[in-house]
A and B are shown apart, each in its own frame.
Chain A
Amino acid sequence: MARLSKIIADIVLENLILISGGEINITEDQIRSEEDDLAREIFMGLLILHEELKYKEERQKELEKELRERERLFRGVFENAPLGIALLNLDRSFNMGNPQLLDMLNYTIDELKQKNEKEIIFLEESETTTDDDEKYIELTDKLIESFKTAKRYLTNNDQIIWTEITSALIEDELKQPEFIVSIIEDITKRKIIEDELMLKSEELKRSNAELEQFAYVSSHDLREPLRNIATYSQLILKRYSQGLDERVIDWLTQIKDSTARMQNMIRDLLQFSRIGRVDLKFVEIELKVVILNAINNLNPLIFETGTKITYDEKLPFVIGVKTQLILLFQNLINNAIKYSRKGIEPEIKITVDKDENNWIISVMDNGIGISEKYFQSIFVIFQRLHSKTEYSGTGIGLSICRKIVDFHNGKIWLTSKEGEGTNFYFTLPIEQKSERDYENL
Chain B
Amino acid sequence: MKIYDFVYIDDCEPDYLIFLEVLEELNFKGNVKRLVDGELGHEFLLQLKQAEKKPKLIILDLNMPILHGMDLLKIIKMDEFLRTIPVIIMSSSEYEKDIQNSYFNYANSYIVKPDDYDSLLKTMECIINYWFKIVKL
- Which chain B residues lie closer than 8 Å to A224 at the CB level? 12, 15, 92
Q: Does B63 lie at the interface of the complex (its beta carbon under 8 Å from any beta carbon of A)?
A: yes
Chain A: minimal CB distance from B18 (Å): 5
> Are B118 and A234 within 8 A (Cβ)?
yes
> Which chain B residues numbered 100 to 123 have a C-beta less than 8 Å away from chain A?
113, 115-118, 120
- Which chain B residues lie closer than 8 Å to A221 at the CB level? 63
> Are A263 and B115 within 8 A (Cβ)?
yes
- Which chain B residues lie closer than 8 Å to A263 at the CB level? 115
> Which chain A residues numbered 43 to 89 have a C-beta less than 8 Å away from chain B?
none
Q: Does A230 lie at the interface of the complex (its beta carbon under 8 Å from any beta carbon of B)?
A: yes
Identify whether the interface residues of A are mostly helix, strand, loop, or mixed: helix
Chain B: minimal CB distance from A7 (Å): 112
> Are A228 and B91 within 8 A (Cβ)?
no
> Are A232 and B18 within 8 A (Cβ)?
yes
Our count of residue pairs bridging A and B at CB distance below 8 angstroms stands at 48
> Are A232 and B14 within 8 A (Cβ)?
yes
Given contacts A219-B94, A227-B92, A228-B14, contact A235 B117 (CB under 8 A): yes
- Which chain B residues lie closer than 8 Å to A234 at the CB level? 116-118
- Which chain A residues lie closer than 8 Å to B95 at the CB level? 216, 219
What 1/0 flags go to B13-24 for Cβ under 8 Å of A? 011001001000
Q: Does B31 lie at the interface of the complex (its beta carbon under 8 Å from any beta carbon of A)?
A: no
Given contacts A224-B12, A235-B18, contact A230 B93 (CB under 8 A): no
> Are A227 and B115 within 8 A (Cβ)?
yes
- Which chain B residues lie closer than 8 Å to A235 at the CB level? 18, 21, 117
A238→B117 CA distance, assembly (Å): 9
9 contacts between A and B (CB under 8 A): A216-B93, A219-B94, A220-B93, A225-B14, A227-B113, A230-B115, A234-B116, A238-B118, A260-B116
Residues in A lying within 8 Å of B, measured CB to CB: 216, 219-221, 223-225, 227-228, 230-232, 234-235, 238, 260, 263, 267, 270
